Amino acid sequence: MLPPQKTMRNNPIIIGIDPGYDRVGVAIGQKTDQTWRLFTYHCIQTEQKAQLFERYAQIARELDKLVRDYQVTQASIESLFWFKNQSTALNVSEARGVIIATLLRTQVKIAEYTPLQVKQSLTGYGRADKKAVEKMVRMELHLEDKMIDDTIDALAIMICHECSRKLKENL
């Protein structure tokens, strides 16, 4: 991945985050002219055998380090959607709270997007399937390497934020 670099004028360094408690998708990039500079994209993978609070602490530590190392100025995070499993929803909600608190502590500007908004932004259709979103992420960022869904989602959220930011800027 690319080393951190000072933010170019009017081009924030954005972190896209797909929240979870076992895996947190993260993508950090900066849109320059018509191309993206990707600094890193991966998952923060927590230890399955660790206590839940230890997992939350790991997420906070790793996220804090990423934000500081890459001089992130804006964050985009996916808002929660309906879960069938209540205990999973609670754990993801708590992890999302830890993520938001970490971002607030580092004074990063935060925006949140629903899955429908992310899909609409990338594909033009809010009910698009995961394959359509992945295809658009790969096309926009010129990526071919294999990734798990959480990483692709984080990249999609990052792109969505840049589109939304540019749209608001032009109003």
In this structure, how many other beta carbons lie within 10 angstroms of the beta carbon of residue 48? 7
pLDDT digits (tens, 9 = 90+) for 90-102: 899 999 999 999 9
**Could you give all domains of the chain from N- to C-terminal order, each with its CATH number?**
14-169 (3.30.420.10)
Residues annotated catalytic, as ranges: 18, 78, 150
Helix (H, G, I), strand (E, B) or coil at 129: coil
Do the beta carbons of residue 37 and residue 30 sit within 8 Å?
yes
pLDDT digits (tens, 9 = 90+) for 108-129: 999 999 999 999 999 999 999 9
pTM, two decimals, is 0.92
